[in-house]
Each structure stands twice: as C-alpha cells, then as structure tokens.
Amino acid sequence: MPVFPFVPTMSLAVALLATPAAQAQDQGKDQAPARSAPVENVRYDYAQVLAVRPVYETIKTTQMEKVCERLGPDKPNPLSRVVNAVRDRLSTATPEQATDCRMQPVTKESRRVVAYDVDYMYRGNKFRTRMENDPGYRLRIRISIMPHPDD
C-alpha cells in the first residue's frame, strides 16, 4: 500500500490544528500584560469611644377617639326648679348628666432610637461613625492597608 494518500490528509489535519494556536499567539502580543490586584493587609484593633449620641425618629400617629363633654345645666325658670326638685326627691335614680360626644382626630407622637452617632479616637485621630448599636467604652475597628494603584 502506498503511503502517499495519507500525506495530504495528514498535512491538512496539522494545518487545521496549528491555525488556532497561531491566532492565540497573535492575540497575546497585542494585549497589555494583566495586572494582578494588590493584596489587602487587614488587621483588627480597638479604639476609645469618646461620645455616643442616640439618633431618634419621631413617629406621628393620628387616630379617631371618642371625646365627650358634659353639658352644663341650663338656667331653668323658678317654677321648673321647684318641679325638678320634687321629681328628684321622689326618684331614687341618680340624675343623668347630658353629654355631647363626637369622634375627633387625636395626634400622638412617639420617639424611638434608630441609630447612634459614635465619636472615637484611634492613635490620636478622631473619627465619627453611625452605628446600629451602642458600642460601649471601646470600639473594635478594622484596619486595612493597601498600596495606591498607579494611574
């Protein structure tokens, strides 16, 4: 069997496999070398808390409430006074006071703590932050040191 029929097929396969590799090498030459991200150095320490001030949120609510007022006695004439006095003595029930009741909107305010403004000192420098909780006398802080990237 002659070896020659395989030569064109083999050279064609090698040419097809070599083309993507050559393209990849050409792309690598055009691109700038990739920069690696600088590694961040992190440590934790404690800072002295100087002041803590609560931050309040005021909530206003309006609701309808029944408000009743006593109506004052009308000034009766002398004859009706006598009749009313006799009727009151004969009746054992307590006299009812006339009242005027109506629904009226009443606004109420309430306050709640939503955060804390914290002043603290670390290595002679003063800082301020807002936190969800009161940190107490000292505050754990995260210190991160990273070189500035060149522009």
d(CA 115, CA 100): 45
Any domain includes 133: yes
Q: Which domain holds residue 136?
A: 41-70+97-145
Is 8 within the bounds of a domain? Answer: no
Nearest Cα to 47, choosing from 145, 122, 131? 122
- pLDDT at residue 116 greater than cutoff 60: yes
Residue 61 lies in a domain: yes
Is 127 inside a domain boundary?
yes
Stronger pLDDT, 131 or 41, i.e. the higher one: 131
Q: Is the pLDDT of residue 7 over 90?
A: no
Residue 75 in domain: no
Residue 139, classified by CB atoms within 10 Å of its CB into exposed (0-12), middle (13-18) or buried (19+), is buried
Encode pLDDT of 41-92 as tens digits. 889 999 999 999 999 999 999 998 888 887 766 555 666 677 777 777 766 6
Sheet holding 125-131, edge to edge: 125-131, 99-122, 41-70, 138-145
Q: Would you say residue 122 has pLDDT above 50?
A: yes
Domain-embedded: residue 49:
yes
- Mean pLDDT computed over every residue of the chain: 77
User: At a CB cut-off of 8 Å and minimum separation 6, what does 43 contact?
Assistant: 142, 143
Structural domain tally of the chain? 1
Three-class DSSP category at 94 = coil
Domain presence at residue 103: yes
